[in-house]
Structure 1
Amino acid sequence: MVILAFALAAGGLAASQVRSSIEEVESRVGAPTPLVVARQDIRGGTRLEPQALERMLTVQEIPERFVPPDALTAPQEAAGLRVAVPLAAGSYLTVGDLETGVGRGGPAGPVLAPGERVVEVPVASGAIGAAPPGTRVDVLVTTSPESGGGRTYVALQRVELLDSRAAAEGVGAAGAAPAAGAMAALRVTLEQAVMLTAAQNFAQEIRLLVRSPEDRRRIGPTSVRAADL
C-alpha cells in the first residue's frame, strides 16, 4: 500500500509539472491556434473547389504568437477561391495567398479577413507602377532630418498591394517634401495601419519594394541613420 501511495503521489507530481510546463510555454508563445495548411503542393492559379478541400488542405495547430495575421482557420473559408501563388506542402494558407485583391474581389472591393484594413499611402514611384494587385511588398520609410536626424527603416514586410495609381500633383507625406509619385492601397492589420499612418506624418519618403511571391522570409529590425552614411 505504501508503494502504491508513493506511486500515485509521484504520478500526480509529474502531471502537475507537465501542466506547469505547458502553462509556462503558452504564457510565452500563446495557446495552440488552428490554421489552414496545404496538404500537398498547390500550383498558382489553382481553384480550391469545395469538393477538393479535404484532399488539398488540412488544419494544424501552432502557438498563437507565430500565427500570421491573415491566416485562415478553416478550409471552408477558401472554398471557390483561387491560389494566387504556388504553395508547397506544409505551407500556411493566408488571405494574402488567395486571389481576393482589388480587381479580383468584384465591385465591392477587396475581401478582408476579420481584423484587416485597407490603408492608402503616398509612395515613391518606380517599379511599383508596374506591379499588379496581389503583389507582396516591403515598406521602407525615410524620415526627414528635422524629425530626429533622419533614417530609413523597414516599417512593414510582405504586405499585399491591393491597388496603385499615379498621385495627384503635390501629394506627399504631411509636413514633408511632396516626393510621392503614386498612391498605394495596402492590406494591413489595424495595428499596422496606425503605425504606418503615424510614420507617414514624419516621412520624407515612403517606398515599396516588390518581393518574390515565394519569398516568405522575415528579417529582423533594419534601419540606417543618415549619420551612419
Structure 2
Amino acid sequence: MGERELIGDVAGAPLGRDFFDRPSDVVAPDLLGRVVVHGSVAVRLSEVEAYGGPGQDPASHTYRGRTPRNSVMFGPPGHLYVYFTYGMHFCANLVCMPAGSASAVLLRAGEVIAGVHTARIRRMPHADGPDLEGLVRRVPDRDLARGPARLTVALGLVRDHNGTDCCSGGPIRAHEGRPVPSSQIRTGPRTGVSTGAETPWRFWIDGDPTVSPYRAHVPRRRGRAMS
C-alpha cells in the first residue's frame, strides 16, 4: 500500500474545488475536522480564521487591493496562500470564492494524525547529536501544530508552496476528514488583529486540546528617543 493510500485511510477523500468556492466565513467552520496533507504528514484542523475581500475586511491582506504579496488570494479557490510574518514565521491559508474575490481561511491549529515523527523533527530543526530523539520527544503531541506558525512548520510549508493547488491531486491536498457537528463549533474574534477585531470569524472545536490560546492585538511600543 502506497503513501497516498495510507493517508487516505485517516484523511478520507480529497475535497473538490467547489468546497472552497464559497464565502470564507462559510468555508471556515466547515474546514474544522478536515485534513491537510503534505507528503507523509497529515493535520486534522481544529482552529481556523476567515478573512474577507478587498474593501470589505480591514483585517485581510487584500483590503487595499492586489499586490505581489497577496496575488494568490485573487486567484481560483482551493489554492494555498503562504506568507511570511513578523520576520520569522510562515502562515498558510486556503483561498475561497471565485477568482477575483480574494478571500481565504487561515489555518490556525490542528492535530497531527499522520507523520508525527517527521512533524516532531521539523519542530526541532536545530536538534542534533545523540540526544536528538530525546529532544524531539519533548514536544507534546498537542503542541505539534498548535498555532499557525507551528502548523505550517509541521506540514513543511514554505514560501515556495505559495500558489499550490490543493485540489488537483498534487503533494499538498485538503481531504474530507471528519466534519465537526455545529454543536461542537465555537466562534469569536480573530487573534491578534489590529482592525476588524470585532468580527467573530475565528472558529474552533470546543474543548480540543490543540486549539491555540486567544490573544488580543497589543500595539507595538516604539522605543524611546535617546536624549
TM-score range, shorter chain: under 0.3
- Flag the structure with larger Rg: 1
Superposition TM-score, scaled by structure 2 size: 0.26
Superposition TM-score, scaled by structure 1 size: 0.26
User: Using CA pairs below 8 Å that are at least 6 residues apart, which structure has the higher relative contact order?
Assistant: 2
